[in-house]
């Protein structure tokens, strides 16, 4: 079991008084769960919350070199993005696009450290309406340009024909249900944790909560192989693997670029593909994508 802080212990860990802890729960989303009338704080989620809310980082010692044909994309994993990168490479023999699968938070961090040209992200904000803006503002000194890649449907992947009759996140707390999860810092994990809190489910009660997979497809394969019964993921993976799907929400999945790298040749070429019929055809091979905003500037608004 992961370590749990008491209110007194988390106050000492954060070097604040206990009254301030309650304010952070209600106003800043400090991860907490109430059991038998007492607040408990999973240490790993508290550490993740601190990292998410950190404003200032040391300057990187090295930066991206001038663009010479290598386009680096890093952040949140997506099957359509992977196929679009392959399409980019086939269309542009003088360029090579590579992807680093490090989660949405990792992508923003890589963008700040100038380790990538484009970050892919789908981080839901506290108001549950907008995506990425608050996180980008916290991570970066200047707001980057934000281009929509797609909208996609997030939910819970379950086995074909849903034999355990799982209908909602609350059902995952039933005895005998095994879950599989995404890693900390991914937008899917953050959404899943949010939905678990809404349902009043402690992560320590879920069998398999700490069984983490690096990609959406890997979560689906665990369920398809009967090593898990359910896990957070996107509808396109369910359609690809023939799994059932319990929808939670449509989300905006964006590409973020700093203004310093916006006019690099590869960065300019890549969004152009999102307006082509070949991209439409790729998206059409899956269920669960909406490409009506694909390639459009989200920020600054045009």
d(CA 226, CA 224): 5
Does an H or E element contain 18, and which? helix 18-28
301 or 249: which leads in pLDDT? 249
Closest Cα to residue 278, out of 265, 263, 266, 291? 291
Judging by DSSP bridges, how do beta strands 230-234 and 289-290 pair with one another? unpaired
Predicted local distance difference test score (pLDDT) of residue 229 = 98
The average confidence (pLDDT) of the chain is 92
Please compute the mean of the pLDDT values over residues 221-244 and round it to a whole number.
98
Please compute the mean of the pLDDT values over residues 181-194 and round it to a whole number.
95
Q: What is the pLDDT of residues 85-115, one digit of tens each?
A: 999 999 999 999 999 999 999 999 999 999 9
d(CA 8, CA 39): 10
Does an H or E element contain 219, and which? helix 216-224
Q: Give the global pTM.
A: 0.80
Exposure on the CB side of residue 2, measured as CA atoms within 13 A: 20
pLDDT at 55 over 90: no
Q: Give me the residue label for tokens 């994993």.
A: 77
Query: Backbone phi, then psi, for 159, in 5-degree steps?
Result: -65, 155
Confidence of residue 36 (pLDDT cuts 50, 70, 90): confident
* Cβ-contact 193, 185 below 8 angstroms: no
Q: What is the pLDDT of residues 265-288, one digit of tens each?
A: 999 999 999 999 999 999 999 999
Report residue 157 as tokens: 């992947």
Instruction: Please name the residues in contact with 122: beta carbons below 8 A apart, sequence gap of 6 or more.
Output: 76, 104, 131, 132, 152, 187, 188, 251, 252, 253, 254
């Amino acid at each position: 079991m992961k370590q749990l802080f008491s209110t007194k212990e988390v106050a000492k860990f954060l070097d604040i008084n206990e009254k301030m802890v309650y304010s952070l729960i209600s106003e800043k989303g400090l991860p907490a769960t109430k059991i038998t009338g007492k607040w408990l704080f999973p240490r790993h989620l508290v550490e993740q919350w601190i990292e998410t809310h950190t404003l200032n980082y040391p300057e990187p010692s090295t930066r991206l070199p001038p663009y010479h044909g290598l386009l680096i994309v890093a952040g949140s994993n997506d099957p359509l993005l992977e196929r679009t990168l392959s399409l980019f490479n086939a269309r542009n023999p003088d360029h090579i696009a590579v992807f680093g699968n490090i989660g949405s938070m990792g992508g923003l961090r890589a963008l700040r450290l100038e380790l990538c040209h484009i970050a892919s992200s789908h981080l839901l904000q506290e108001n549950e309406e907008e995506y990425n803006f608050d996180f980008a503002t916290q991570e970066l000194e200047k707001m980057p340009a934000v281009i929509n890649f797609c909208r996609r449907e997030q939910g819970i992947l379950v086995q074909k024909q849903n034999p355990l009759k799982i209908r909602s996140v609350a059902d995952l707390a039933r005895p005998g249900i095994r879950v599989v999860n995404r890693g900390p810092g991914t937008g899917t994990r953050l959404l899943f944790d949010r939905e678990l809190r809404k349902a009043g489910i402690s992560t320590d009660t879920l069998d398999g909560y700490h069984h983490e997979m690096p990609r959406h497809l890997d979560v689906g394969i665990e369920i398809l192989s009967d090593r898990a019964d359910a896990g957070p993921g996107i509808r396109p993976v369910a359609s690809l693997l023939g799994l059932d799907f319990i929808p939670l929400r449509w989300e905006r999945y964006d590409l973020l670029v700093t203004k310093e790298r916006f006019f690099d040749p590869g960065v300019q070429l890549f969004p152009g593909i999102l307006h082509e019929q070949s991209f439409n055809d790729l998206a059409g091979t899956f269920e669960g994508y909406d490409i009506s905003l694909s390639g459009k500037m989200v920020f600054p608004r045009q």
